[in-house]
Amino acid sequence: MAAAAPDDTMTALRGRVLLIVGGGIAAYKILELVRLLTAAHVDVRCVLTKAGTEFVTPFSLQALSGHPVHQELFSLTDEQEMGHIALSRSADLLVVAPATADLLAKMTVGLANDLASTLLLATDTPVLAAPAMNVRMWEHPATRANVATLKARGIEFIGPDEGVMACGEYGFGRLAEPPVLRDAILARLNIASPTSGSARPHTSSTMTCTRTETGSSCDIVPGGTVVRSSVETTVDGTTLWKPLLGRHALVTAGPTHEPIDPVRYLGNRSSGLQGYAIAEALAALGARVTLVSGPTNLLAPAGVTLRRVETALEMEQAVRDALPADIAVCAAAVADWRVTNAVTSKIKKSADTTPPSLHLVPNPDILAALSAPGPHRPSLVVGFAAETDDVEANAIAKRKRKGCDWIVANDVSVGTNVMGGTENTVLLITSDGVEHWPRMTKTDLALRLARRIARRFGAPALSADGDMN
Ligand code: CTP
């Protein structure tokens, strides 16, 4: 059967996706995803697992993608045309959808016993996984652990959505809808969604976040009276406000640990909560987010690329690697000093009980470096100021000293319970002056800051934020 070319204007090609289709009832939605992607001028090559063939046929995928579908690990024809290593490396993005519990488990342990798992092991291309499975399977500790491991390795996840599943149960497990998947893929390929950029007026929005133990998702849905003209996408009649689509946001979070010996380090009380919430909120508004995090107990937020580091020097390097970015938010509590005489063997108490001397040198100031003028300076750099005295005056001085555009200042004195707590009271200091924000949860603060950032990139204000000036 001759495959129909999805588009004869190959010059308009805007990215290459290798789509691995797993075996789940949701696989039927993948046909629509392939159609949407090819319509957006994305070259889609499909790999169909054996289980996937129970739900969609290679012929349908071939007809919609315009390319032969790859199914076998050892296929003479395919090996002649393109080896499996080349197949995975020729793509800009690997998408696993539906990412079944079985595929996630294989990815976690590094199995390579069929074409899909071999490709996933052989690739150094970014991977986006869209899980779909029964809610009990999604919530099983084995799957939770697999997802956490994969996220820590930098695999991005989209969904699963909450709702009634084919098996009749209710909960998280539904494959994200094809237009949502299409937009997530286009964002990672740095392509604006075809439904984006409309300047049509629309009623206002409220941000709703669903957070569960197994994940979270945030979206802005219609509901008020403000006219807006930013990027919007429509999914099943619901308008999602994505004003940061196409923007790259870099967020630092958590503490850094500066080793003294293999068991001891210098550190601080930062939990990372605020930075993770900001990363999640920026992603919910459509940004592609890289989160560089010191040691925390937190899972990667939905749709965010997480780079875990330990020390300030590693954080500095990871931040440099993540550039260029349009937005940088430095929420990390970077240790000010590191130990130059750290040792690789545990320091033993000496007989005379003289404590060891630590030689400290200052760590690089990541925020100041990001804020310095240069070709890679993000167009908006936001710092945090953790202060215990004269919060406002110190934060204003800190903004000048570091050269950042905005400073979010918080009082971290004993009794405020900000460090490690779930709430925060901040001042936002910009070139226009000082805004006093009321006490709110770190999640709400993140959402408000993300909307404020979206405003800076052209989105109109929301009355809910009380900052309509
Ligand atoms: N910061 C950074 N790199 C450092 C130190 C701080 O990027 N080496 C960033 C933090 O992420 C935060 C801001 O600078 O956005 C302010 O951090 P803070 O701890 O309040 O200030 P310091 O620069 O450490 O100054 P001081 O301790 O004197 O208040």
Q: DSSP letter string over 161-193?
A: EEEE-TTS-EEEEEPPPHHHHHHHHHHHTT---
Q: Nearest to residue 21, comparing CAs of 49, 54, 59, 57? A: 49
Q: Which atom of ligand 1 lies nearest, measured to the CA of 384?
A: 15
Helices (H) and strands (E) in the chain, counts: 14, 25
pLDDT tens-digit profile, the chain (469 residues): 333 344 333 346 788 999 999 998 889 899 999 999 998 889 999 999 999 999 889 888 988 888 889 988 776 455 555 566 777 778 999 999 999 999 999 999 999 999 999 999 988 899 999 999 988 899 899 999 999 899 888 899 998 887 666 666 666 788 998 888 998 899 888 876 665 433 222 222 333 333 333 333 333 332 222 222 334 554 444 445 688 989 999 999 999 999 999 999 999 989 999 999 999 889 988 899 999 999 998 888 878 999 999 999 999 999 999 999 999 999 999 999 999 999 999 998 877 778 889 999 999 999 999 999 999 999 999 999 989 899 999 999 999 999 999 999 998 887 777 777 788 889 999 999 999 999 888 888 998 999 899 999 987 665 445 443 3
Ligand 1 binding pocket includes 312 (Cβ within 6 Å)? yes
Tell me the best of 336, 392, 396, 405 to mutate to test the pocket of ligand 1, counting ligand atoms within 8 Å of each CB and taking the most.
336
Amino acid 351: pLDDT: 74
Give the Å distance between the CA of 328 and the centre of ligand 1.
14
Query: Is the model's pTM score more than 0.75?
Result: no
Give the Å distance between the CA of 403 and the centre of ligand 1.
12
- Given the residues 46, 167, 218, 404, the one annotated as active site: 167
Ligand 1 binding pocket includes 292 (Cβ within 6 Å)? no
Amino acid 195: pLDDT: 53
- Which residue is associated with the tokens 């406000």? 241
Ligand 1 binding pocket includes 365 (Cβ within 6 Å)? yes
Amino acid 199: pLDDT: 27
Q: Which atom of ligand 1 lies nearest, measured to the CA of 407?
A: 15
Q: Which atom of ligand 1 lies nearest, measured to the CA of 364?
A: 8
Buried b (16+ CB within 10 A) or exposed e, 86-97: ebbbebbbbbbb
Give the Å distance between the CA of 365 and the centre of ligand 1.
7
Ligand 1 binding pocket includes 409 (Cβ within 6 Å)? no
Give the Å distance between the CA of 402 and the centre of ligand 1.
9
Q: Nearest to residue 266, comparing CAs of 333, 337, 314? A: 337
Give me the phi and psi of 3, to 5 degrees please: -80, 135
Q: Which helix (H) or strand (E) holds 360?
A: strand 360-362
Q: Do domains 14-188 and 248-465 have the same CATH topology?
A: yes
Reduced to 3 states (helix: H, G, I; strand: E, B; else coil), residue 107 is: helix
Q: Nearest to residue 258, comparing CAs of 299, 312, 209, 213? A: 312
Report d(CA 6, CA 241) in Å as an integer: 29
Amino acid 7: pLDDT: 38
Tell me the best of 258, 337, 361, 365 to mutate to test the pocket of ligand 1, counting ligand atoms within 8 Å of each CB and taking the most.
365
Q: Which atom of ligand 1 lies nearest, measured to the CA of 366?
A: 7
Contact 259, 342 (CB under 8 A): yes
Contact 103, 127 (CB under 8 A): no
Q: Please confirm, yes or no, whether 167 is among the known catalytic residues.
A: yes
Q: Which atom of ligand 1 lies nearest, measured to the CA of 383?
A: 15
**Atom 24 of ligand 1 has which residue's CA nearest to it?**
336
Report d(CA 291, CA 274) in Å as an integer: 12
Q: What residue ranges do the domains of the chain occupy?
A: 14-188, 248-465
Ligand 1 binding pocket includes 406 (Cβ within 6 Å)? no
Which CATH homologous superfamily contains domain 14-188?
Flavin prenyltransferase-like (3.40.50.1950)
Does domain 248-465 correspond to CATH entry 3.30.70.360?
no
**Atom 17 of ligand 1 has which residue's CA nearest to it?**
385
Q: How far is CA 11 from CA 15, 246, 298, 305, in A?
A: 11, 21, 43, 30
Report d(CA 228, CA 213) in Å as an integer: 33
| Residue 195 CA to its chain's centroid (Å) | 22
